[in-house]
Amino acid sequence: MRKIPVEFIKDGDILAKDLFTSSGVVLMSEGTKLKKEYIARLLELEIDQVYLKDTGENSREQSGNVIEEEVKEQCGALVRSTIQKYAYASNDELQEIVKVADDMITDILSDPQIMYNVSCVREKSNALYLHSINVAAISTLIALRAKFPKKKVRDITIGALLHDIGFTTVTVDTTNLSLETCDEKTRKEVMHHVVFGYTDVETKDWVSKTVKDIILHHHERLDGSGYPFHQKAGHIKPEVRIVSLCDQFDSMIYGNLTKRYKVRDAMEYIMSQAGVQFDFKFVQLFMESVAAYPIGITVVTNEGDTAVVVRQNYKFPTRPVIRLLKNKDGVDYGENEERDLTKYLTLFIADSIEY
């Protein structure tokens, strides 16, 4: 495997690593034979370098190394991307949070046991893998904003990365599955993933007690309505409370075992459950930390324009900077038609297009 500039790619070269967009969607898969039109598209997207396979690169050891490096790179990139997309903070604070989270993920994935389990989740389901990374990123953001000690933040990050490892044992296909509409037998097996996951790590010395608690209890709720033990507030650790909140949020916006919600609607649900299902203090931090209209989201203004959110305005959560795409008649705007909604006071976001 070698890393080379895109302009030096030859027709027929083989991609050695998946290429992802900034939102975590696979742009090109490992093994893709690159054609001239693909190379042109990469240059249009301002992708400077890619990993290519060397001739005869097929040995098991090389394959394992490629996968490990791929997982490390993907995790780091996705954590950075998720925090930058959702975080609502001043520029200086955001840069510091991203750096700390990036360093922590790099350090965590140097543990072969953690790497192995994250790779198992990835192999089971790419959607589950992306969900775990999203939850880890947002949980880390909240933990840092809560000023937890570094060791606790680390445990929260690891617990979030591994919170759904029990799904590697679940036999039912969870693709497009909703717990609200599936049969009772399926629901019971899916809900049992927390026990499967805990059983898998229960005797492992490399897993801290806090991480084990997160794996087992991340579906418990303060009012006792969760599972598997219907525990109430006094028995649910703060670290678990953070991950359970972030797990619920990400599950709602991506339709993981539930119907899919828009970001703003998911946030309103989380807020409505402050002090009921979720810890009031962490909900407050969550609402102060996560943007109502994340960067990259498509929105519709009160004037009927379609636009994309390009930047946040700190302390003005519902008035970001948007780039206009089309007017109400479907006519394209120019490339740099931006509107800072803190300056255009009669212009506001009426809806979002997230599906």
* 145 shares a domain with 281: yes
* 201 shares a domain with 234: yes
Mind giving me the DSSP string for 230-291? --BGGGS-HHHHHHHHHHHHHHHHHTSBS----HHHHHHHHHHTBTTTB-HHHHHHHHHHB-
Average of per-residue pLDDT across 254-261: 93
| Residue after which a domain boundary falls, among 237, 264, 289 | 289
Q: What is the pLDDT confidence band of residue 20, given thresholds at 50, 70 and 90?
A: confident
Q: What is the pLDDT of residues 36-47, one digit of tens each?
A: 777 777 777 777
- How many percent of the chain have pLDDT more than 90? 70
For residue 42, what are the domain limits?
2-57
* 250 shares a domain with 133: yes
Domain count, the chain: 3
Q: What is the pLDDT of residues 103-143, one digit of tens each?
A: 999 999 999 899 989 988 988 888 999 999 999 999 999 99
* 183 shares a domain with 108: yes
The answer to whether residue 26 scores a pLDDT higher than 80 is no
Q: What is the pLDDT of residues 270-319, one digit of tens each?
A: 999 999 999 999 999 999 999 999 999 999 999 999 999 999 998 898 99
* 279 shares a domain with 192: yes
* 35 shares a domain with 127: no
Query: Model's pTM, two decimal places?
Result: 0.81
* 304 shares a domain with 262: no
* 223 shares a domain with 85: yes
* 261 shares a domain with 141: yes
* 249 shares a domain with 223: yes
Q: What is the CATH number of the domain that holds 10?
A: 3.90.105.10
- How many percent of the chain have pLDDT more than 70? 93
User: Worst-scoring range by mean pLDDT, 64-73, 179-188, 334-343?
Assistant: 64-73
* 304 shares a domain with 165: no
